C-alpha cells in the first residue's frame, strides 16, 4: 500500500513538472506559431479587429512574393554557406585549441586561457570600426570574407574553445597514455582518440556557432552594400512596398523560411547537445 502511494505521488510530481514546463513554453512557442500562421494570411487579416490567430482564407501568395521583390534565394544561399563554413572552421579551431589547453602543459597556459576568455567580454561594437578599416585596407569590403573571419575567430570561437577544453579535461588520461604506448603523436591522438569521443561537445559547438552566424546583423550591415551579397537578417528588413510601408505578410513568410535551417541543425544535433553542455562544466 505504501509503495502504491509513493508511485502515485511520484507520478503526480512528474505530471506537475510537465504542466509547469508547458506553461513556461507558452511565451516562446506562441510567437513562433503566430508568425507561421500569419504568413498564410492576406495583409488585411494580419491586423484585423478583432484579431485572429489563424487565417480565415489561407494563401501561399506571401511565399511566392518573397522571391520576387529581391534576390531572396541568393541571400538565403549566402546565409547557409557562410554559416556552414564558419561552423566547420570553429569546430576545427576550437577542438585543436581546446585540446591544447586541456592536455599540453606549457608555461603560462592558464594565464593564456584566461586572456582568451576575456575575449567574451569585449562587445563586437567596440571592434567594428578598426576591423572595418583593416578589411578595407586589404580590399575585403563588400565581400563575405569579413563575415567568415570575424565570426569564426571571435566570440563564438572563444566560447567553443572553452566548451572543448572542458570536455577534453573530463576524458580519462589513460586513453592518451594508451595511445602514446601505441606510438601515436599529439595530432594523431587528437584525431583518432579524442575527437571521436567529443561528438557531444562538437554538437553543442555546432549548434551555438551556426545560430551565431545565422543571426548576424551588425556585421553584414557594415561590410556589405550589394543586395546580392546580403544575408537573411538584412534581407528581412527590405520587404517594403512602393510607399516604404512594411509588407508584413511577406516579412513573416520570409522569417518563417529562415527558421527552417536552424531547426534542421538542432534536430540533427540535439541528441548530443545537452550532454555536450553538461560535460563542459565537469572540471575546471
**Are residues 158 and 259 located together in one domain of the fold?**
yes
**Are residues 117 and 13 located together in one domain of the fold?**
no
Separation of alpha carbons 125 and 112, rounded Å: 24
Q: What is the per-residue pLDDT for 148?
A: 93
Of residues 45 and 257, the one with the higher pLDDT is 257
Domain that holds residue 23: 1-29
Q: What is the per-residue pLDDT for 282?
A: 45
For residue range 193-210, list pLDDT tens digits in order: 888 888 888 888 888 899
- Count the neighbouring beta carbons within 10 Å of the beta carbon of residue 131: 17
Q: Report, as an integer, the average pLDDT of 14-23.
A: 87
Show the DSSP H helices in the chain as ranges: 2-38, 43-46, 61-66, 72-103, 109-118, 124-137, 145-152, 155-170, 173-181, 186-189, 195-197, 199-214, 218-223, 232-235, 248-279
Please check whether residue 207 lies inside any domain of the structure: yes
**Are residues 195 and 255 located together in one domain of the fold?**
yes
Please check whether residue 7 lies inside any domain of the structure: yes
Query: Which residues on neighbouring strands pair with residue 37, listed in sequence order?
Result: none
**Are residues 25 and 74 located together in one domain of the fold?**
no
Q: Report, as an integer, the average pLDDT of 93-110.
A: 90
* Domain count along the chain: 2
Separation of alpha carbons 77 and 148, rounded Å: 14
| Residue-averaged pLDDT of the chain | 84
Contacts of 154 (CB under 8 A, 6+ apart): 119, 124
* Phi/psi-derived region of residue 48, left when phi > 0, alpha when psi is between -120 and 50, beta in every other case: beta
Please check whether residue 35 lies inside any domain of the structure: no
CATH code, domain carrying 166 = 1.10.3720.10
**Are residues 207 and 115 located together in one domain of the fold?**
yes
Please check whether residue 65 lies inside any domain of the structure: no
Separation of alpha carbons 107 and 182, rounded Å: 27
**Are residues 142 and 195 located together in one domain of the fold?**
yes
**Are residues 152 and 18 located together in one domain of the fold?**
no
**Are residues 19 and 78 located together in one domain of the fold?**
no
Please check whether residue 50 lies inside any domain of the structure: no
Please check whether residue 258 lies inside any domain of the structure: yes
Q: Report, as an integer, the average pLDDT of 52-60.
A: 81
For residue range 115-128, list pLDDT tens digits in order: 888 878 888 888 89
- Count the neighbouring beta carbons within 10 Å of the beta carbon of residue 216: 22
Please check whether residue 162 lies inside any domain of the structure: yes
**Are residues 12 and 77 located together in one domain of the fold?**
no
Contact 235, 254 (CB under 8 A): yes
Smallest CA-to-CA distance from 164 within 206, 132, 135, 130 is with 206
**Are residues 7 and 146 located together in one domain of the fold?**
no
Separation of alpha carbons 111 and 20, rounded Å: 43
Q: Report, as an integer, the average pLDDT of 215-221.
A: 91
**Are residues 97 and 233 located together in one domain of the fold?**
yes
For residue range 160-172, list pLDDT tens digits in order: 999 899 889 988 8
Query: Which residues on neighbouring strands pair with residue 240, listed in sequence order?
Result: 246
**Are residues 14 and 126 located together in one domain of the fold?**
no
Q: What is the per-residue pLDDT for 230?
A: 93
For residue range 219-265, list pLDDT tens digits in order: 999 999 998 999 999 888 887 765 566 788 888 888 899 988 888 87
For residue 240, report the phi and psi dihedrals to the nearest 5 degrees. -130, 155
Is this prediction's pTM over 0.85? no
Q: What is the per-residue pLDDT for 283?
A: 46
Please check whether residue 59 lies inside any domain of the structure: no
Q: Report, as an integer, the average pLDDT of 32-55.
A: 82
Amino acid at each position: 500500500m505504501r509503495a502504491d502511494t509513493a508511485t502515485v505521488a511520484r507520478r503526480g510530481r512528474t505530471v506537475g513538472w510537465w504542466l509547469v514546463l508547458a506553461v513556461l513554453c507558452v511565451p516562446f512557442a506562441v510567437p513562433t506559431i503566430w508568425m507561421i500562421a500569419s504568413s498564410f494570411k492576406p495583409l488585411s487579416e494580419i491586423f484585423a479587429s478583432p484579431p485572429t490567430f489563424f487565417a480565415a482564407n489561407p494563401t501561399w501568395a506571401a511565399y511566392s512574393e518573397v522571391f520576387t521583390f529581391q534576390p531572396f534565394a541568393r541571400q538565403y544561399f549566402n546565409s547557409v554557406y557562410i554559416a556552414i563554413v564558419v561552423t566547420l572552421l570553429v569546430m576545427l579551431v576550437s577542438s585543436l585549441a581546446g585540446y591544447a589547453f586541456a592536455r599540453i602543459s606549457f608555461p603560462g597556459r592558464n594565464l593564456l586561457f584566461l586572456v582568451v576568455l576575456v575575449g567574451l567580454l569585449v562587445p563586437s561594437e567596440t571592434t567594428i570600426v578598426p576591423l572595418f578599416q583593416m578589411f578595407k585596407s586589404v580590399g575585403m569590403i563588400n565581400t563575405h570574407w569579413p563575415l567568415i573571419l570575424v565570426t569564426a575567430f571571435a566570440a563564438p570561437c572563444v566560447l567553443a574553445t572553452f566548451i572543448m577544453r572542458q570536455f577534453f579535461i573530463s576524458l580519462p588520461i589513460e586513453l592518451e597514455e594508451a595511445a602514446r604506448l601505441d606510438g601515436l603523436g599529439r595530432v594523431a591522438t587528437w584525431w583518432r582518440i579524442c575527437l571521436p569521443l567529443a561528438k557531444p561537445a562538437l554538437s553543442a559547438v555546432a549548434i551555438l556557432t551556426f545560430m551565431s552566424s545565422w543571426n548576424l546583423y551588425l556585421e553584414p550591415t557594415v561590410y556589405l552594400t550589394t543586395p546580392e551579397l546580403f544575408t537573411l537578417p538584412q534581407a528581412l528588413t527590405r520587404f517594403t512596398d512602393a510607399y516604404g510601408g512594411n509588407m508584413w505578410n511577406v516579412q513573416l513568410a520570409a522569417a518563417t523560411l529562415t527558421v527552417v535551417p536552424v531547426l534542421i541543425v538542432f534536430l540533427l544535433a540535439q541528441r548530443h547537445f545537452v550532454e555536450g553542455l553538461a560535460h563542459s562544466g565537469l572540471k575546471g
